[in-house]
Amino acid sequence: MTITHASQTTQFGSEHAADAALSIHDVTVAYHRRPVLWDLDLDIPRGVLASIIGPNGAGKSTMIKACLDLIPRISGNVRILGEPYRQIRGKVGYVPQRETVDWEFPVSALDVTCMGLYRKIGWFRSIRRPHREKAREALDRVGLADFAHRQISQLSGGQQQRVFLARALVQEADIYFMDEPFASVDVATEQAILELLRTMRQEGRTVVVVHHDLQTAQNYFDWVVLLNTRLVASGPMKETFTSENLRRTYGGRLTLLEEAGRALSQAQAGLPHEE
Amino acid sequence: MSRSASLPPRYAHRTLWTLLAIFLSPLAAYADPVFFESKLQKILFLQDYNTRIVVIGTSILGAACGLSGTFLLLRKRALMGDVLSHTMLPGVVLAFLLGTTFGYEKTLPLLLLGAAIAAGLGSLSVLMLRRISVLGDETAMAIVLSFFFGIGTVLLSIAQESATGHQAGLESFIYGKTASLTRGDVQWILLGSLFSLGLVLLLFKEFRMLCFDEEFTGCQGRPVVGLDAALFAVVIVTTLVGLQAVGLILIIALLVIPPAAARFWTDQLHHTTAVAATIGALGCWSGVTISALAPRLPAGALIVLSTAFLFLISLLFGSRRGLIGRLIRWSDTRASVGKDHLLRAFYELSESHLKWIRLEDLAGLRSWTPRQLQRLLKRARKRGEVIRGNANTWKLTDRGHLLAAHRTRNHRLWELYLIRYAHLATSHVDRAADRIEHVLGPELVHHLEQELDQRPPYAPESPHPILNPEESR
Residue B416 touches chain A, beta carbons under 8 Å: no
Same domain for B295 and B430, yes or no, is: no
Q: How confident is the model at residue A10 (pLDDT cuts 50, 70, 90)?
A: very low
Q: CA nearest A105 in B: which residue?
A: B212
Domain assignment present for B13: no
Average pLDDT over residues B16-45: 56
Point out the residue among B9, B222, B267 whose CB comes nearest to the CB of A106: B267
Domain assignment present for B8: no
Domain boundary at B263, B296, B318, which?
B318
Give chain B's domain count. Answer: 2
The tens digit of pLDDT for each residue in A107-121 reads 999 999 999 999 999
Task: Give the DSSP H/E element, type plus range, for residue A31.
Answer: strand A22-31
Separation between Cα atoms, residue A41 and residue A29, nearest integer Å = 13
How far does the CA of residue A125 sit from the closest CA of chain B (Å)?
8
Burial class for B184, CB neighbours closer than 10 Å (0-12, 13-18, 19+): exposed
Amino acid type, B320: R
CATH number of the domain enclosing B407: 1.10.10.10
| Domain that residue B421 falls in | 328-472
Point out the residue among A70, A102, A124 whose CB comes nearest to the CB of B215: A70
Q: How confident is the model at residue B436 (pLDDT cuts 50, 70, 90)?
A: low
The tens digit of pLDDT for each residue in A122-135 reads 999 999 999 999 99
The tens digit of pLDDT for each residue in A66-118 reads 999 888 899 999 999 999 999 998 899 999 999 899 999 999 999 999 999 99
Same domain for B386 and B268, yes or no, is: no
Tell me the CA distances in angstroms from B399 to A77, B123, B232, B431, one per residue in order. Answer: 76, 69, 64, 21
Same domain for B249 and B356, yes or no, is: no
Number of other CB atoms surrounding residue B432 within 10 Å: 12
The tens digit of pLDDT for each residue in B193-245 reads 999 999 999 999 999 999 999 999 988 889 988 999 999 999 999 999 998 88
Q: Is the torsion defined by CA of B245, B250, B252, B256 positive or negative?
A: negative
Using a CB-CB cut-off of 8 Å, the residues of chain A touching B204 are 126
Domain assignment present for B276: yes
Domain assignment present for B7: no
CA A50 to chain centre: 8
CB contact under 8 A, B209 and A121: no
Same domain for B255 and B160, yes or no, is: yes
The tens digit of pLDDT for each residue in B374-406 reads 899 999 999 888 888 887 888 888 888 888 888
Same domain for B285 and B416, yes or no, is: no
Domain assignment present for B201: yes
Number of other CB atoms surrounding residue B434 within 10 Å: 10
CATH number of the domain enclosing B158: 1.10.3470.10
Number of other CB atoms surrounding residue B358 within 10 Å: 15
Q: Judge whether A215 and A241 are in contact, CB under 8 Å.
A: no
Question: B229-232 contacts: CB < 8 A, separation 24 or more?
Answer: B230/B199, B230/B203, B231/B71, B231/B72, B231/B75, B231/B207, B232/B80, B232/B84, B232/B120, B232/B123
Same domain for B273 and B404, yes or no, is: no
Same domain for B231 and B258, yes or no, is: yes
Same domain for B313 and B370, yes or no, is: no
Separation between Cα atoms, residue B110 and residue B95, nearest integer Å = 6
Q: Judge whether A59 and A139 are in contact, CB under 8 Å.
A: no
CB contact under 8 A, A89 and B220: yes
Separation between Cα atoms, residue A233 and residue A235, nearest integer Å = 7
Q: Give the model's pLDDT for residue B21.
A: 64
Same domain for B43 and B175, yes or no, is: yes
Separation between Cα atoms, residue B358 and residue B123, nearest integer Å = 73
Q: Give the model's pLDDT for residue A5.
A: 41
Q: Which of A232, A238, A185 is nearest to A39 (CA)?
A: A232
Residue A180 touches chain B, beta carbons under 8 Å: no
CB contact under 8 A, B213 and A70: no
The tens digit of pLDDT for each residue in B326-350 reads 999 899 888 888 888 898 888 888 7
Residue B5 touches chain A, beta carbons under 8 Å: yes
Percentage of the residues of chain A whose pLDDT score is greater than 70: 85
Domain assignment present for B363: yes
Number of other CB atoms surrounding residue B458 within 10 Å: 16
Domain boundary at B318, B351, B385, which?
B318
Same domain for B388 and B260, yes or no, is: no
Same domain for B89 and B236, yes or no, is: yes
Domain assignment present for B22: no
Say how many residues make up chain A. 275
Domain assignment present for B240: yes
Q: What angle do CA B346, B426, B336 make, to 5 degrees?
A: 35
How far does the CA of residue A164 sit from the closest CA of chain B (Å)?
10
Domain boundary at B318, B352, B385, which?
B318
Same domain for B335 and B311, yes or no, is: no
